[in-house]
Structure 1
């Protein structure tokens, strides 16, 4: 298989993007913080043995697995013989991390972060993994001719919905397919790239043939990752119509039409299942370009991506740039409610489960493509903000491990994965994030070189024989310096010229929203020049030997939640500030939620430190409007920052100056809480949002879990929350994925979890049932069982609730007729929470270990639909 002649840089000529990516080999990153982050990641990648990564592929294809075990966790296989924990048929996502790993080492080898022995080590692993996957694929074809081309991370009969513990099989296979495509895109070993391309192409053919053999199967019913995105990339490389046919199978056009029409249909959708679909829609627009038949359909894909981005960023995004709670989108602008209203019990996806790292990773992919399509500065600003405050914040700088969630509720630590034995999706995204730290610093266009990130870096070949050097010191002097200097290496030649001057370059510098506009200046060779501003970008022309200083004085900003204006975070320029509440050890201060997912444990004592009120007779509006006087920078050195609040910084690898801020003119427990840039913290319990109250009220209103917001309805900062029940444990249907499996989902064969009208639910047929196991808390009751159902279910119920002890394999005997439930509260879209009180004696009998089994069983009718289940106090 060879690339199509119509392919340029891996993209078919059709829609011409405004901006082109810059080869990572041209971009050197000098920032010590990022250099440390990349080195930690490289050390981790070099710790893997390709033969162990290939164990399950070899076992399923009849090849010798050399007596080795797999790496465990989400990469476990079918039986105890190969699983390090000795389990049979565990819940798992086999193959996904192998694909992430292949992408990560390909990115690392294409970057400027790796050289010498490390480069040789990664090359050896890349080659062994690609050839091993290809051998397993070919061996499997000899065993099962009808399914030739299958990448055998598991048995093919698990498609499409999973089987015997294997979850979301097409999602897992997408990661492997994307890894092979990335080898083809990035590797300089053309023979190896050809092998990867053959394997990826054969898999695409398998997808088409499998669909023809199973025409009644809904390919879109179960999470499939970014399969459409990967297959459009493959088609862009090969021009093979079969590959295009395979990509079309994963186009969720019904969703794209709703998004293109401007409908916010996100509530209830699994966030990280949805974002890659939209990336795939935009990739279709880019790859097919003018070749698309039907102008309306073609434009639909761009409009869907553009609208989706705006919906997520404007209405579903926390102050760090990331989104989701319990892996899902919820009601627009309900961020405070989602972050504080789902309980604080250890384990489970509660208030600890906001801001999933995979979502930030994929939103940046989408943003990068939109920036390239449009050149709009708003995409660059979001990219910078989320890169700093979600992606950089996701890594432990001592260990290189990454987060699954970043809690927005005060009183939690960030907790990180382990080198082996877990392998969450976010660990896979994490190894990709920190092997491409230099991939989006610069872009080129007909108007010159666009600076996307203000970052210590160099760009080789910015002009013939010239290197662009950028020195960023935003946290210190609040300025960025650019200079053109000689570059004798320049092996790849200069960048495409665009309209740059004869002997220099044109730069486009974003004018950020986070600056104090009156202090922005541009000085070239010591002389101020007027700002030449166009569409959010400042034009700067540099000649060889020029030195330009872009002065960007950072502005302090309050960042209130849209649904509670008294729940407020703060930013200094592009840097979100975090309050240091207490030291902690994230390697021990965790519980498990989902499938082996580490989630933070809340420090209730520390959490109450994130509350204050203005002193004297100030109101909240006045205090926030005078933020420059009320949030004052006190610390000026890294050493001072590293010991502040009893917490230390990230391995001593700080930016040149890390500011420390203190609240002024306030009363309450937060008065002595230091604030520092969030990304630069390890080993602490923190607060990103603070509870503010008016001068006439108590000193700070702690965020009690489960409160509802009145703010927003009244529109003023004085608005406050109303009481809601405290949630002990909760589960949301998610198509049998991580959340439901983490709550010990059991179900009859006819039970389904679907998404309709933007809401996920689970049901079962007239003889069916399903159950979960939920915590009743450490005190054993009394508690309330709450169930989210359509309004009207109580009038004609076709099912009942049964209660039993955890671990029961049969239907529990304890029956609760729905006639005994009452309406607790009403939600949007015609849904109601119904509930029934469970006395302490009942709870103590059924849940001696603190967990109760809640089963929904048919009484002759349909079971459900059930949209959520909670244990409340």
Structure 2
């Protein structure tokens, strides 16, 4: 009985405020889909073990502290005690709800109930309904209520993105109720939303928009959900007020202004735009969400389904930074892109959304968790040839991608099937699973080892025979006419009743079996900018090659602030394998299967280096604890020498600089600034020639690490067009240099190295250097584009 009560609770999420209107399609709640043995079920079970390894009392500690209650355990470290305290607790609620609904595990349900009960005690300490782990949050929110707002991308009123932090609590309570069936969470969610209504009642729309410059997650989505849950439109109005017009307005005009924007700040906002349109807001906002999705997927997404470099959207016409950098697609971005994709698919039924969903699920999300017993989640997935990923540990790492990672692997079943009322059942993904649809007296079991085998088998069990349509997705990777269907062993010709689907309409009976032939083909995909690099895709599966297992520094990340970045040495790009072919357009034809080894291929004869002749290409999600190749440079025999030299020349300078670098921060980029203790007054950021900058009429500072006191100089990058600006650079409070920018004749970027005092090179000098840029009276400090400590 409990299972079907949960199903009903989850199903209400798609109900609109306006009576008589419903979504074109509906997904089944998580309780209805059980994963069967296969890689997704394995990932789910690994995630469940990670969830249960976490200490609920340690996650609750920030909330208890802010509520004035004694802690039952010490809070966790890493991001959980450096300003974003409590954000994982919110994700934990969502993940527990998802995992309980998917597995019906009593221990997971008990943990969810305990978390909600303990958070309720914290909320009860606050008569106004506030609940959060933001350090010093009560005083900061009082400032906001009084109209004292100092916001930037880094945070609000000197706090690290507190609205983003609080959004995780909102979303966790929503999911605990809608997915986990916890009624107490519903009451808590509404009280917390009423607190926000009261907090912002006296603020003008302009003040709220100013505040939204700080990352705030998907608050507009949650408030729209509360409107749907309660039927009260005041919450929909709140959702609209919390929709960032600086992002929405150009999207409504179909203008792509995403270059340089912090990617995962924007995606949740757009999820909210779409959710508001669903619940009864302006329908034009759906068009904005669709345009955003198209822009990101078509122009900014690599083959695995991920996007962004160092968390920011790289220039759509230049993917050089994607290939040269080590901070490739962020897992959180794909987590949120899948949420947006699901929304748009359910509203439109368009198959292109499922093609992206499948690609990202197999190749980014599934690959982002270590398959070993200890699990562990990935933050950045480098696309740089022969680099690697690092993994979190349960008691050490508490990055944003740990929070979203806890959720990712609990919800693989959410879009395997969908339905159009009681009339049509849609099979969207070829994942071993069992669907229970009690309202229709139907159980469907999908047995498959896809993509290991190119087939799937659907077996139906019904309480009584009934007529309905069974629609099978025609994947975008499978040419028309190649999806072969049999019913009870006999070939049939389904009707193509909707784009992207083949439909069988008949009276179905228990024991009916539908078998699907799903032949896969290997293709080569270029980067969106058209540069001469390709990734190989077999059906929906991205193929990659493990090149070696050397120098995997920090493979299992500790609690250090930057441990989520794979900081091992950069291997020269010119020494990576090159695909040399006389027919670059047909390069995929030379990728050959290895006999007797499913989903294993060679590129023999193509590689430009003898030692790579025996590389094996396998699904990327199978590669762990190794350096790898996802993207391959392609050239002709005649062009090999010139291309190798071009790559060598461009990469050598970068690697030499990295080898000298002790620590580095990119001003204007949110996470690097957060990781380096940014502070400042009267300071602004922007983008110039696709590079971020920061300047100040007051001052700004960073804390750079110098653990072995090896730094000899401070290198700062400026733009040639900034002239006459006067400021002081201070290190640990002492002036290092009085600067007057003179620019350069070309107006291009240039670097200046400032020698550090001898005293900083030996004990007892500090191993953390505070570098401060302070404007002279009436002038400006910066713009500064890069700050490095160099050996």
* 1:265-414 correspondence runs (5 A): 265-288=257-280, 292=281, 298-335=282-319, 337-341=320-324, 351-398=325-372, 399-414=374-389
* 1:189-338 correspondence runs (5 A): 192-193=182-183, 195-213=184-202, 215=204, 216=207, 218-288=210-280, 292=281, 298-335=282-319, 337-338=320-321
SS state of the match for residue 568, structure 1? Answer: strand
Quick one: distance in 1 between partners of 2:195 and 2:156?
Answer: 19
Checking the alignment, whether the CA contact within 8 Å between 2:712 and 2:789 is kept in structure 1 is: no
SS state of the match for residue 672, structure 1? Answer: coil
Tell me which residue corresponds to 2:117. 131
Q: What's the offset of the Cα at 1:199? A: 1.5
Tell me which residue corresponds to 2:624. 682
1:36 equivalenced with 2:19 (yes/no): no
* 1:396-545 correspondence runs (5 A): 396-398=370-372, 399-445=374-420, 448-461=424-437, 464-486=440-462, 503-517=466-480, 519-533=482-496, 534-541=498-505, 543-544=508-509, 545=511
Q: What's the offset of the Cα at 1:383? A: 0.3
Checking the alignment, whether the CA contact within 8 Å between 2:223 and 2:235 is kept in structure 1 is: yes
Q: What's the offset of the Cα at 1:404? A: 0.6
1:158 equivalenced with 2:140 (yes/no): yes
Deviations 1:275-301 (A, max 9, x none): 00000000000011xxx4xxxxx1321
Quick one: distance in 2 between partners of 1:760 and 1:782?
Answer: 22
Q: What's the offset of the Cα at 1:726? A: 6.4
Tell me which residue corresponds to 2:548. 582
Tell me which residue corresponds to 1:178. 171
SS state of the match for residue 735, structure 2? Answer: coil
Tell me which residue corresponds to 1:12. 16
Deviations 1:199-249 (A, max 9, x none): 111111211222235554633121111111111111110123443343233
Going from structure 1 to structure 2, the CA distance change for 1:683 and 1:836 (only over 3 Å counts) comes to: closer
1:693 equivalenced with 2:635 (yes/no): yes
Deviations 1:590-620 (A, max 9, x none): 7889934421134545866632242xxx42x
Quick one: distance in 1 between partners of 2:633 and 2:707?
Answer: 28
Going from structure 1 to structure 2, the CA distance change for 1:97 and 1:754 (only over 3 Å counts) comes to: farther
Q: What's the offset of the Cα at 1:151? A: 3.3
1:768 equivalenced with 2:712 (yes/no): no
Going from structure 1 to structure 2, the CA distance change for 1:734 and 1:667 (only over 3 Å counts) comes to: closer
Tell me which residue corresponds to 2:148. none
Checking the alignment, whether the CA contact within 8 Å between 1:731 and 1:870 is kept in structure 2 is: yes
SS state of the match for residue 443, structure 1? Answer: strand
SS state of the match for residue 822, structure 1? Answer: coil
SS state of the match for residue 379, structure 1? Answer: helix
Q: What's the offset of the Cα at 1:99? A: 0.4
Q: What's the offset of the Cα at 1:250? A: 1.0
Quick one: distance in 1 between partners of 2:468 and 2:688?
Answer: 52
SS state of the match for residue 594, structure 2? Answer: strand
SS state of the match for residue 255, structure 2? Answer: coil
Instruction: Choose from 741, 745, 756 the match for 2:678.
Output: 745
Normalising by structure 2, we get a TM-score of 0.86
SS state of the match for residue 860, structure 1? Answer: coil
SS state of the match for residue 532, structure 2? Answer: strand
Quick one: distance in 2 between partners of 1:237 and 1:440?
Answer: 22
Q: What's the offset of the Cα at 1:368? A: 0.1
Checking the alignment, whether the CA contact within 8 Å between 2:584 and 2:635 is kept in structure 1 is: no
Instruction: Choose from 732, 756, 769 the match for 1:809.
Output: 732
Q: What's the offset of the Cα at 1:412? A: 1.5
Any unmatched runs of 5+ in structure 2? 1-8, 145-150
Tell me which residue corresponds to 1:859. 776
1:636 equivalenced with 2:625 (yes/no): no
SS state of the match for residue 57, structure 2? Answer: helix
Tell me which residue corresponds to 1:81. none
Q: What's the offset of the Cα at 1:540? A: 2.7
Q: What's the offset of the Cα at 1:467? A: 2.0
1:104 equivalenced with 2:95 (yes/no): yes
Report the RMSD for the aligned CA atoms in angstroms. 3.6
Q: What's the offset of the Cα at 1:754? A: 6.6
Any unmatched runs of 5+ in structure 1? 77-90, 142-146, 293-297, 342-350, 489-501, 638-656, 709-720, 825-831
Tell me which residue corresponds to 1:663. 604
Q: What's the offset of the Cα at 1:438? A: 1.1
Going from structure 1 to structure 2, the CA distance change for 1:663 and 1:635 (only over 3 Å counts) comes to: same
SS state of the match for residue 548, structure 1? Answer: strand
SS state of the match for residue 380, structure 2? Answer: coil
Going from structure 1 to structure 2, the CA distance change for 1:666 and 1:137 (only over 3 Å counts) comes to: closer
Quick one: distance in 1 between partners of 2:558 and 2:60?
Answer: 27
Q: What's the offset of the Cα at 1:773? A: 3.8
Going from structure 1 to structure 2, the CA distance change for 1:698 and 1:723 (only over 3 Å counts) comes to: farther
Quick one: distance in 2 between partners of 1:705 and 1:742?
Answer: 31
Going from structure 1 to structure 2, the CA distance change for 1:202 and 1:585 (only over 3 Å counts) comes to: farther
Deviations 1:70-112 (A, max 9, x none): 1222222xxxxxxxxxxxxxx321111000000111111111x
Residues 508-517 or 32-41, more deviating: 508-517
Tell me which residue corresponds to 1:640. none
Going from structure 1 to structure 2, the CA distance change for 1:209 and 1:465 (only over 3 Å counts) comes to: closer
Deviations 1:94-132 (A, max 9, x none): 111000000111111111x243xxx1x222221221121
Checking the alignment, whether the CA contact within 8 Å between 2:393 and 2:558 is kept in structure 1 is: no
Quick one: distance in 2 between partners of 1:212 and 1:555?
Answer: 57
1:570 equivalenced with 2:570 (yes/no): no
SS state of the match for residue 352, structure 2? Answer: helix
Quick one: distance in 2 between partners of 1:360 and 1:283?
Answer: 18
Quick one: distance in 2 between partners of 1:16 and 1:792?
Answer: 55
SS state of the match for residue 53, structure 1? Answer: helix
Tell me which residue corresponds to 1:52. 58
Quick one: distance in 2 between partners of 1:400 and 1:590?
Answer: 10
Deviations 1:490-540 (A, max 9, x none): xxxxxxxxxxxx724422222223235564422333333335333122223
Quick one: distance in 2 between partners of 1:778 and 1:625?
Answer: 53
Deviations 1:160-194 (A, max 9, x none): 65589741111111100111111121234xxx41x
SS state of the match for residue 526, structure 2? Answer: strand
